[in-house]
Protein backbone atom coordinates (compact mmCIF):
# COMPACT_ATOMS: atom_id res chain seq x y z
CA UNK A 1 0.00 0.00 0.00
CA UNK A 2 1.31 3.42 -0.92
CA UNK A 3 1.60 5.97 1.83
CA UNK A 4 -1.23 8.12 3.13
CA UNK A 5 -0.92 11.90 3.31
CA UNK A 6 -3.08 13.70 5.90
CA UNK A 7 -2.94 17.46 6.43
CA UNK A 8 -4.44 19.76 9.05
CA UNK A 9 -5.66 23.27 8.30
CA UNK A 10 -7.41 25.99 10.26
CA UNK A 11 -7.29 29.53 11.53
CA UNK A 12 -4.95 30.69 14.28
CA UNK A 13 -5.29 29.02 17.67
CA UNK A 14 -7.69 26.30 16.50
CA UNK A 15 -5.61 23.47 17.98
CA UNK A 16 -4.04 21.99 14.85
CA UNK A 17 -0.74 21.14 16.49
CA UNK A 18 -2.40 19.43 19.45
CA UNK A 19 -4.89 17.47 17.37
CA UNK A 20 -2.42 16.41 14.68
CA UNK A 21 0.02 15.11 17.30
CA UNK A 22 -2.76 13.23 19.10
CA UNK A 23 -3.73 11.62 15.80
CA UNK A 24 -0.14 10.53 15.22
CA UNK A 25 -0.01 8.91 18.65
CA UNK A 26 -3.31 7.11 17.95
CA UNK A 27 -2.10 5.79 14.58
CA UNK A 28 1.20 4.61 16.04
CA UNK A 29 -0.69 2.66 18.70
CA UNK A 30 -2.61 1.04 15.86
CA UNK A 31 0.68 -0.16 14.41
CA UNK A 32 1.11 2.32 11.57
CA UNK A 33 4.43 3.91 10.65
CA UNK A 34 3.77 7.63 11.03
CA UNK A 35 5.76 10.77 10.28
CA UNK A 36 4.68 14.10 11.78
CA UNK A 37 5.66 17.41 10.15
CA UNK A 38 4.83 21.09 10.43
CA UNK A 39 4.74 23.75 7.75
CA UNK A 40 6.71 25.80 7.25
CA UNK A 41 9.51 23.83 8.88
CA UNK A 42 10.47 20.23 9.67
CA UNK A 43 13.79 20.41 7.80
CA UNK A 44 16.84 22.50 8.62
CA UNK A 45 16.36 24.75 5.59
CA UNK A 46 12.60 25.06 5.97
CA UNK A 47 12.92 25.97 9.65
CA UNK A 48 15.24 28.85 8.72
CA UNK A 49 12.65 30.09 6.22
CA UNK A 50 10.00 29.75 8.95
CA UNK A 51 12.03 32.04 11.20
CA UNK A 52 12.05 34.72 8.49
CA UNK A 53 8.33 34.38 7.77
CA UNK A 54 7.08 34.53 11.35
CA UNK A 55 9.48 37.12 12.78
CA UNK A 56 7.39 40.14 13.75
CA UNK A 57 10.27 42.43 12.78
CA UNK A 58 9.91 41.45 9.10
CA UNK A 59 6.81 43.53 8.38
CA UNK A 60 8.27 44.70 5.05
CA UNK A 61 7.86 41.28 3.40
CA UNK A 62 5.61 41.75 0.37
CA UNK A 63 2.65 39.47 -0.29
CA UNK A 64 4.41 37.96 -3.30
CA UNK A 65 7.64 37.38 -1.38
CA UNK A 66 5.67 35.83 1.46
CA UNK A 67 3.95 33.40 -0.90
CA UNK A 68 7.22 32.38 -2.54
CA UNK A 69 8.98 31.87 0.81
CA UNK A 70 6.21 29.50 1.91
CA UNK A 71 6.57 27.66 -1.39
CA UNK A 72 10.35 27.43 -0.99
CA UNK A 73 9.98 25.87 2.46
CA UNK A 74 7.32 23.51 1.05
CA UNK A 75 9.49 22.45 -1.89
CA UNK A 76 12.24 21.44 0.53
CA UNK A 77 9.98 19.46 2.87
CA UNK A 78 8.36 17.64 -0.07
CA UNK A 79 11.69 16.71 -1.62
CA UNK A 80 13.48 15.86 1.62
CA UNK A 81 10.72 14.20 3.66
CA UNK A 82 7.18 13.89 2.30
CA UNK A 83 7.87 12.27 -1.08
CA UNK A 84 10.40 9.66 0.19
CA UNK A 85 8.33 8.77 3.28
CA UNK A 86 5.15 8.29 1.24
CA UNK A 87 7.15 6.09 -1.14
CA UNK A 88 8.01 3.88 1.85
CA UNK A 89 4.29 3.43 2.56
CA UNK A 90 4.21 5.58 5.69
CA UNK A 91 1.41 7.82 6.91
CA UNK A 92 2.57 11.42 6.74
CA UNK A 93 0.66 13.89 8.94
CA UNK A 94 1.43 17.54 8.22
CA UNK A 95 0.35 20.61 10.18
CA UNK A 96 -0.52 22.86 7.17
CA UNK A 97 0.19 22.43 3.44
CA UNK A 98 -0.72 24.11 0.14
CA UNK A 99 -4.28 24.98 1.21
CA UNK A 100 -2.75 27.36 3.77
CA UNK A 101 -1.09 29.39 1.04
CA UNK A 102 -4.30 29.58 -0.97
CA UNK A 103 -6.18 30.77 2.13
CA UNK A 104 -3.61 33.07 3.76
CA UNK A 105 -1.76 34.58 0.82
CA UNK A 106 -4.44 34.10 -1.81
CA UNK A 107 -7.77 34.91 -0.20
CA UNK A 108 -6.16 36.78 2.70
CA UNK A 109 -3.61 38.97 0.90
CA UNK A 110 -4.99 38.93 -2.63
CA UNK A 111 -2.13 37.10 -4.35
CA UNK A 112 -3.35 35.65 -7.66
CA UNK A 113 -4.87 32.23 -6.97
CA UNK A 114 -3.90 30.84 -10.36
CA UNK A 115 -0.28 31.83 -9.70
CA UNK A 116 -0.38 30.11 -6.30
CA UNK A 117 -1.82 26.92 -7.80
CA UNK A 118 0.76 26.89 -10.60
CA UNK A 119 3.69 27.50 -8.24
CA UNK A 120 2.20 25.06 -5.75
CA UNK A 121 2.07 22.23 -8.28
CA UNK A 122 5.77 22.79 -8.96
CA UNK A 123 6.75 23.04 -5.27
CA UNK A 124 4.77 19.95 -4.24
CA UNK A 125 5.81 17.88 -7.27
CA UNK A 126 2.10 17.25 -7.77
CA UNK A 127 1.62 15.61 -4.36
CA UNK A 128 -1.83 16.23 -2.85
CA UNK A 129 -3.21 15.22 0.55
CA UNK A 130 -5.49 12.19 0.65
CA UNK A 131 -7.39 13.84 3.49
CA UNK A 132 -7.37 17.38 4.83
CA UNK A 133 -8.95 18.20 8.18
CA UNK A 134 -10.06 21.81 8.62
CA UNK A 135 -10.52 22.64 12.30
CA UNK A 136 -13.18 25.31 12.61
CA UNK A 137 -13.10 27.56 15.68
CA UNK A 138 -14.54 31.09 16.00
CA UNK A 139 -11.75 33.52 15.07
CA UNK A 140 -12.01 35.63 18.19
CA UNK A 141 -11.52 32.57 20.41
CA UNK A 142 -8.56 31.28 18.43
CA UNK A 143 -6.79 34.63 18.40
CA UNK A 144 -7.33 34.97 22.15
CA UNK A 145 -5.47 31.69 22.56
CA UNK A 146 -2.48 33.34 20.84
CA UNK A 147 -2.76 36.82 22.35
CA UNK A 148 0.50 36.59 24.33
CA UNK A 149 2.70 34.98 21.67
CA UNK A 150 1.54 36.35 18.34
CA UNK A 151 3.84 35.89 15.35
CA UNK A 152 3.92 38.15 12.27
CA UNK A 153 0.87 36.53 10.66
CA UNK A 154 -1.19 36.35 13.84
CA UNK A 155 -0.63 40.08 14.44
CA UNK A 156 -2.70 40.98 11.37
CA UNK A 157 -6.09 42.67 11.67
CA UNK A 158 -9.21 40.61 12.34
CA UNK A 159 -10.53 41.50 8.87
CA UNK A 160 -7.56 39.65 7.35
CA UNK A 161 -8.27 36.52 9.39
CA UNK A 162 -11.93 36.70 8.34
CA UNK A 163 -10.86 36.66 4.67
CA UNK A 164 -8.63 33.67 5.40
CA UNK A 165 -11.47 31.71 7.00
CA UNK A 166 -13.84 32.61 4.16
CA UNK A 167 -11.17 31.36 1.76
CA UNK A 168 -10.95 28.04 3.54
CA UNK A 169 -14.72 27.63 3.32
CA UNK A 170 -14.53 28.23 -0.44
CA UNK A 171 -11.81 25.57 -0.74
CA UNK A 172 -14.00 23.10 1.16
CA UNK A 173 -16.84 23.71 -1.31
CA UNK A 174 -14.45 23.10 -4.21
CA UNK A 175 -13.08 19.82 -2.79
CA UNK A 176 -15.62 18.40 -0.31
CA UNK A 177 -14.41 14.82 -0.77
CA UNK A 178 -10.88 15.73 0.39
CA UNK A 179 -11.33 18.61 2.83
CA UNK A 180 -13.48 17.81 5.85
CA UNK A 181 -14.64 20.48 8.30
CA UNK A 182 -14.47 19.51 11.97
CA UNK A 183 -16.06 21.87 14.48
CA UNK A 184 -13.73 22.30 17.45
CA UNK A 185 -15.51 21.05 20.56
CA UNK A 186 -14.92 22.29 24.11
CA UNK A 187 -13.31 18.92 24.83
CA UNK A 188 -10.01 18.12 23.10
CA UNK A 189 -10.95 14.43 23.28
CA UNK A 190 -14.27 15.00 21.53
CA UNK A 191 -12.61 16.86 18.67
CA UNK A 192 -9.99 14.12 18.40
CA UNK A 193 -12.68 11.43 18.22
CA UNK A 194 -14.29 13.22 15.26
CA UNK A 195 -10.93 13.35 13.53
CA UNK A 196 -10.23 9.67 14.17
CA UNK A 197 -13.59 8.74 12.65
CA UNK A 198 -12.70 10.55 9.41
CA UNK A 199 -9.23 9.01 9.26
CA UNK A 200 -10.55 5.53 10.02
CA UNK A 201 -12.98 5.81 7.09
CA UNK A 202 -10.13 6.68 4.72
CA UNK A 203 -8.01 3.82 6.05
CA UNK A 204 -10.86 1.31 5.73
CA UNK A 205 -11.26 2.21 2.04
CA UNK A 206 -7.57 1.51 1.46
CA UNK A 207 -7.30 -1.83 3.30
What is the average per-residue pLDDT within 51-68?
96
What is the average per-residue pLDDT within 127-144?
90
Query: Measured between alpha carbons, how far is residue 155 from residues 32, 69, 142, 206 in Å?
Result: 38, 19, 13, 41
Give the structural domain span for 31. Answer: 4-206
pLDDT at residue 11, as a whole number? 85
Evaluate if residue 4 carries a pLDDT over 60. Answer: yes
pLDDT at residue 151, as a whole number? 81
Domain count, the chain: 1
Evaluate if residue 116 carries a pLDDT over 90. Answer: yes
pLDDT at residue 142, as a whole number? 75
Evaluate if residue 77 carries a pLDDT over 60. Answer: yes
What is the average per-residue pLDDT within 154-171?
92
DSSP-assigned letters across all residues of the chain: ---EEEEEEESTTS-HHHHHHHHHHHHHHTT--EEEEESS-SSHHHHHHHHHHH-TT-TT--HHHHHHHHHHHHHHHIIIIIHHHHHTT-EEEEE--HHHHIIIIIITT---HHHHHHHHHHHHTT---SEEEEEE--HHHHHHHTTTS--TTTTS-HHHHHHHHHHHHHHHHH-TTTEEEEEPPSSHHHHHHHHHHHHHHHHHHH-
Is pTM beyond 0.75? Reply is yes
Decide: residue 181, CB within 10 A, 0-12 exposed, 13-18 middle, 19+ buried: middle
CATH of the domain at 42: 3.40.50.300
Q: Crossing angle, helix 63-77 and helix 44-54, to 10 degrees?
A: 160
Amino acid sequence: MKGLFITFEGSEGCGKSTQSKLLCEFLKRKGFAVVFLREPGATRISEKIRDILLDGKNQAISAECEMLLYMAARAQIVSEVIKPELAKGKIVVCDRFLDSTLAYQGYGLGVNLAAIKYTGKFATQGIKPDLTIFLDLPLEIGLRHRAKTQDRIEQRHLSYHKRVRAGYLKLIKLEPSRIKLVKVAESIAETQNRIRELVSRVLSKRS
